[in-house]
A = this chain, B = another copy of it.
Amino acid sequence: MIDQFAGGNIELSNLQENFSFAGVSCGLKLSGKKDLGAIFCKKKALTFAVFTQNSVAAAPVKISKKRLNKNKFIRAILVNSGNANAATGIDGFNDAIEISKNFSDLIGIEEDEVLLASTGIIGVRLDKSKIISKIPALVDRLTLNNHLDFKESIMTTDRFEKEYFETISSKECGGIYIRAYAKGCGMICPNLATMLVFITSNINADEKILKEMFINCVNKSFNAISVDGDTSTNDSVFFMTDMSCPENTINNREDNLIIEFEKALNRCCIKLANDMVRDGEGSTKILEVRAIGFANEENAKKVASNIAKSTLVKCAFFGSDPNWGRILCAAGNTNLIDEDSVSIKIFDTEVYNKRPINFDKESLSKKISDNERVIIEIYNNSGDKSFTFYGCDLTFDYVKLNSEYST
C-alpha cells in the first residue's frame, strides 16, 4: 500500500501536485551557493506550523506566527539561509515585512498569505536589497521540478540534504503524497540557527484531525531530538496541504486512509528528525533512548531526554563505553526513577537490573563502536507509557566546530 521515495505501484505521472518550488542565489552566502527559496501553491493551502519556544524568536518567526493566527490558508513560504534575521530588533522585523510585501505583490497574493523562514547568522541585519533584487528571478523559477534548488537554498552547514517523499495509493486523485524538505538541527557554526522543516501534501481531511496528527508527529520527532540541548531562535516546522485528495473530506479519525497517512507522516518526521541528529555537529553516532514502563508519556520523555542530553553519556558513547552508571545517574537527575526498580539495556545486552550485573563489556563496547545507531533502553515499573528520544554523541569535532572564532 505504501511506497516510500519511489512511487512503486502508484503511477506517479497521475499524481497531481499543486506546489511549486524555487531556489536561487542572492548573495547572502559568501560562497555564492543558493540562499533564497520559495514554496508556492496554486491554491490556498491549509497550513499548520510549530515554532521555537525560545522567547528570543527571529523576525520571520514572529511574522509567520502572527499571520497564521489570523489566516490558516496560506499560499507561499519565502525562506532565506545565510542570515537568521534574529535579535535584529525592530529594524530586522521591518526588513522582513518589506521583503515579504515585495514577494506577495509580485506573485499577486495577499500579504498575509505568505509565511517566512530564515536561517543563518544571528544578530546581524540582513541585506534586504540582495533578497529583493532576486525575488523576480525566484518567482520566475517556481515549478515542481525545482524542488532540487529549493532543497539547496535552505541549507547552511548541513553535511547532507534532508528530504522525504512518499505516496499512499487512493482510488482517486492519483494518490496522496507527503513531500518534505528540512535543514539541520545542530547549531553548527558560530551564530548559526537551525531547524527548518517544510512538509507539503494533498491530503483532504477534517482540519482538527489533521492538526492533531501534525502535532502528534512533531512531538514524537522534532520535539524528541537534541544535538546539544539548545533550541534556536528560528526553529519552524510547516505543514501545508492543498486538500485536493480525496475529493470528499475525510471526517472519520478511524478511516483507513487517515490511519495510513498518519503512519506515513510519522515516518516522514522521524526520518527527517533522525537525519538532523545524524548531521549534528561533529556527531558520529545516533543515541536512540527508549524509556519504557512509565506512569505517563511526559515522565518517560523526561527520563529519555535527560539521558540523551547528558554530556557525560554523550562522551561515553563517543568512546564506545557501555557506561550504565552515567545512564542511571542521568535518569536519576529527573527524580522519576528508583535505582532499585529499574533495568537498563544497551542493544540487547542487559547492563543493570536493580543492581549491577555482569556482562561482557569488551564485546558490547565493540558493538557500540561498530554501529552508527546505539539503542539504549531503560525499563521502569510504574506504568505502560513509553517515549523514544534521539540524541547524538559529543565529539572533539563538536567542540572544534563550535569554538572556532565566528569571523
Contact A354 B403 (CB under 8 A): no
Contact B355 A311 (CB under 8 A): no
A8 at the interface (CB under 8 A from B): no
Complex alpha-carbon distance, A86 and B355, angstroms: 10
A399 at the interface (CB under 8 A from B): yes
Asked if A355 meets B230 with Cβ closer than 8 Å, knowing A56-B328, A399-B394, the reply is no
CB-CB under 8 A from A123, the residues of chain B are 324-325, 328, 352, 356
> How distant is A405 from chain B, measured CB to nearest CB, in Å?
5
Within 8 A of B (CB), among A321-378: 321, 323-326, 328-340, 352, 354-356, 361, 365
Mask, A209-221, CB within 8 Å of B = 1, is 0000000000000
Contact of A321 among B121, B337, B361, B403 (CB under 8 A): B403
Complex alpha-carbon distance, A149 and B271, angstroms: 57
Complex alpha-carbon distance, A311 and B311, angstroms: 9
CB-CB under 8 A from A406, the residues of chain B are 316, 321, 323
A315 at the interface (CB under 8 A from B): yes
- Copies of this chain: 2
A89 at the interface (CB under 8 A from B): yes
> How distant is A283 from chain B, measured CB to nearest CB, in Å?
12
Contact of A340 among B89, B233, B398 (CB under 8 A): B89
CB-CB under 8 A from A394, the residues of chain B are 311, 399, 402-403
A353 to chain B: closest residue by CB: B89
A97 at the interface (CB under 8 A from B): no
Complex alpha-carbon distance, A365 and B405, angstroms: 9
CB-CB under 8 A from A324, the residues of chain B are 123
Complex alpha-carbon distance, A233 and B327, angstroms: 12
A187 at the interface (CB under 8 A from B): yes
A320 to chain B: closest residue by CB: B405
Within 8 A of B (CB), among A53-69: 53-57
CB-CB under 8 A from A402, the residues of chain B are 311-312, 315-316, 319, 394
Contact B318 A86 (CB under 8 A): no
Complex alpha-carbon distance, A331 and B88, angstroms: 16
Complex alpha-carbon distance, A173 and B403, angstroms: 54
CB-CB under 8 A from A407, the residues of chain B are 361
Complex alpha-carbon distance, A228 and B86, angstroms: 27
Asked if A89 meets B321 with Cβ closer than 8 Å, knowing A230-B311, A399-B315, the reply is no
Complex alpha-carbon distance, A323 and B405, angstroms: 9
Complex alpha-carbon distance, A295 and B270, angstroms: 40
CB-CB under 8 A from A321, the residues of chain B are 190, 403-406
CB-CB under 8 A from A333, the residues of chain B are 53-55, 230-231
A331 to chain B: closest residue by CB: B56
A122 at the interface (CB under 8 A from B): yes
Within 8 A of B (CB), among A81-138: 86-91, 121-125
A315 to chain B: closest residue by CB: B402
A52 to chain B: closest residue by CB: B332
Contact A122 B329 (CB under 8 A): yes
A193 to chain B: closest residue by CB: B329
A311 to chain B: closest residue by CB: B228
Contact A335 B399 (CB under 8 A): no
Contact B191 A332 (CB under 8 A): no
Asked if A356 meets B124 with Cβ closer than 8 Å, knowing A190-B323, A321-B405, the reply is yes
Mask, A235-277, CB within 8 Å of B = 1, is 0000000000000000000000000000000000000000000
Complex alpha-carbon distance, A319 and B315, angstroms: 20
Question: What would be 7 A-B contacts, judged by CB atoms less than 8 Å apart?
Answer: A122-B326, A230-B312, A311-B394, A316-B402, A318-B403, A394-B399, A398-B399
